[in-house]
Structure 1
Amino acid sequence: MTLQFRNLNISPEAPVAEWPTEAVQTALERGDLNDWRRIGQELRRDPWGRIARRLEEVLSHSRPYGVAELMEGLLERARERAEAAERKEVADEVRQAVTDSGLTSAEFAAAIGTSGSRLSTYMTGKVVPSSTLMVRIRRVSDRCRSVA
């Protein structure tokens, strides 16, 4: 059976990113595996975006049997993957800043006001530095590059 939206000015074939909340709810309640896959793809593309928020809204008041748990799991995994990628990106930036500075890790750590072991956790992604520390990391790296 093909998904149909009633009283909506959008087609089920439109990109999921354009669906209003009512379309997401309809897809969860009356859609099939293909419709749920499309929602899942959008969640993986943007796990905190408009569709993710609309899905959370729908699931806060509607619990389509079996589908609610599936969608919550998809959203959780999509966010975990995105966070892991972001942690890696931050760790890569910290490592590059240390390299670009020309300082040793111990010297760089001292320059940003932390310990070498703490800097190591930032460089491996085990710990994510605060936004203020990231600003400091960038400043120290930039300052060292401009002096060299």
Structure 2
Amino acid sequence: MALRFRNLEVTPEDPVDRWGAEGMLAAIDRGGVDDWRKIILAIRVAPYGPVAADLEEALELAESRGSAQLLRSALEGARQTPEQRVIERLRMLAFETDMSQGDLAARIGTSRTRLNSYLSGAVMPSAALVERVAEVGRTRRSELV
């Protein structure tokens, strides 16, 4: 069933920046993936803009915990610095290898403590290191198939 706004002078077909907090709340609680995608795209463009502010307000009142968590995560992701995104990507890639830090460190040519410093964000990894971890993950997946 398509999202419909009640008691608002805008429709879900209008730009998200016109929905306001009430429209956002309706999308969180009664909307679907297409509605959430519109919100996510808007907050990626302006993570601290008016749409993000309306979303924050709506998230406080939302009843649908699942969709609220999805949109809260999207907002947090949009507000990450480039450095934070690199660290988050490295953590995900390391997790996907399903290896201990010691084993992964050995495979990529570093020490466990150095890998830990990358994963904790204490030291910024090089693009080459991130790519080596991604390659280990690809190799591990192909070994399992």
Instruction: Please tell me the TM-score bracket, short chain as reference.
Output: 0.5 to 0.7
Name the residue aligned to 2:82: 84
Matches of 1:84 and 1:63, distance apart in 2: 32
State the Cα RMSD in Å: 1.6
Matches of 2:82 and 2:57, distance apart in 1: 25
Task: Give ranges in structure 2 of 5+ residues lacking alignment.
Answer: 84-123, 125-145
What is the identity percentage for the equivalent residue pairs of Structure 1 and Structure 2?
Answer: 40
User: Which portions of structure 1, spanning 4 or more consecutive aligned residues, are displaced by more than 4 angstroms?
Assistant: none
Task: Give ranges in structure 1 of 5+ residues lacking alignment.
Answer: 86-125, 127-148
Q: What does 1:1-148 correspond to in 2, within 5 Å?
A: 1-80=1-80, 83-84=81-82
TM-score (norm 1): 0.53
Question: How far off its partner does 1:34 sit?
Answer: 0.4
Deviations along 1:63-121, one digit per CA (max 9) or x if unpaired, are: 412111111110011111xx329xxxxxxxxxxxxxxxxxxxxxxxxxxxxxxxxxxxx
Q: How many residues align?
A: 84
Question: How far off its partner does 1:17 sit?
Answer: 1.4
**Partner AA of 1:51 in structure 2:** V
Q: Which has the larger radius of gyration?
A: 1
Q: Is the 8 A contact 2:28 2:62 kept in 1?
A: no
**Partner AA of 2:71 in structure 1:** M
TM-score (norm 2): 0.54
Matches of 1:32 and 1:63, distance apart in 2: 14
